[in-house]
Amino acid sequence: MSKFRAQNTVRPTPAVVRKAIFDILQDVEDKTFVDLYAGKGFVGIEALRRGAREVIFVEKDPVLCIFIKNTVQKKKLSDKAKVYNLDAVHFLEQSSRAYDIIFADPPYESGELERLFKLFEKKLIVKENGLLILQHYKNESLRERLKALKIHKCYKYGDTLLTVYRR
């Protein structure tokens, strides 16, 4: 996959992978959920549908942010959703909170994983017993530990991997 396509194509999380994410999580009820590199927001919207207390969508494309806002409004979920038109790493750098679940689906082979790793090495933004779930391309290498986070499990779906870090 070329870097150009990886960075400039919206690649919605396939339904089978979305289902797997929530099978892994089991329960998101009353949790704070962050959907980084949200794209069209399908993962975060599913978290809202499953009872998340709050879902924060972070997407740097303003057109996609409008799409997410319109979708959560249509589904009458706006009161539990916040949409930020920001770069994912900048959002986390500015955040003064810790979250129950952070889901990140950066563009494949874009260098974004490394930017995230550096941030997670510096800053604790996942609550105690919280999770970081990374959706990434099978050839991208990960770190075993990120400060207080450690790889818990990895799941494979074709060329896509879901790697779960637990605090």
Q: What percent of the chain is predicted at pLDDT more than 70?
A: 93
Confidence of residue 1 (pLDDT cuts 50, 70, 90): very low
Statement: residue 2 has pLDDT above 80: no
pLDDT single digits (tens) 15-26: 788 888 999 998
Q: Starting from the edge strand earliest in sequence, which strands make up the sheet with 54-58, in order?
A: 81-84, 54-58, 32-36, 99-104, 126-137, 160-166, 149-157, 145-146
Statement: residue 55 has pLDDT above 70: yes
Domain 3-166 falls under CATH 3.40.50.10470: no
Rounded to two decimals, what is the model's pTM?
0.89
The whole-number pLDDT of residue 11 equals 65
